[in-house]
Amino acid sequence: MKLIYLMILITLMLTIIIMMLASIISKKSINDREKNSPFECGFDPKNMTRLTFSIRFFLIAVIFLIFDVEIVLMLPMILTFSISILKLWTLTSIYFVLILIIGTYYEWKFGALNWL
């Protein structure tokens, strides 16, 4: 049992030593302005590192993602048409498309789809 504790202790000590050596070796000693600047950006990184983020762009990206996932969910409906009950398949398809139409109308009504 003492041998297991000794092996665990040696493993932990070796791990801590390797992590400390890696952190010491990886430190940069020379701060060069060219290496610290963004690649081909044209902005000085010391003045302003963050620019304002357009919430409109984020909203359009989320809407695209949602409708992209819904298209992926609609594709298997075509494959299940031949093996499912027609009445149940039709009701499910209509319900799914109706939810999509209501969601699109909601986004349109509150101006999420306006580009200006």
Least reliable range by pLDDT among 3-12, 20-29, 61-70 = 20-29
pLDDT per position as a tens digit, 55-64: 778 888 888 8
Question: In the chain, what are the domain boundaries?
Answer: 55-116
Predicted pLDDT at 74? 84
3-state secondary structure 6-73: HHHHHHHHHHHHHHHHHHHHCCCCCCCHHHHCCCCCCCCCCCCCCCCCCHHHHHHHHHHHHHHHHHHH
pLDDT per position as a tens digit, 25-35: 887 666 666 66
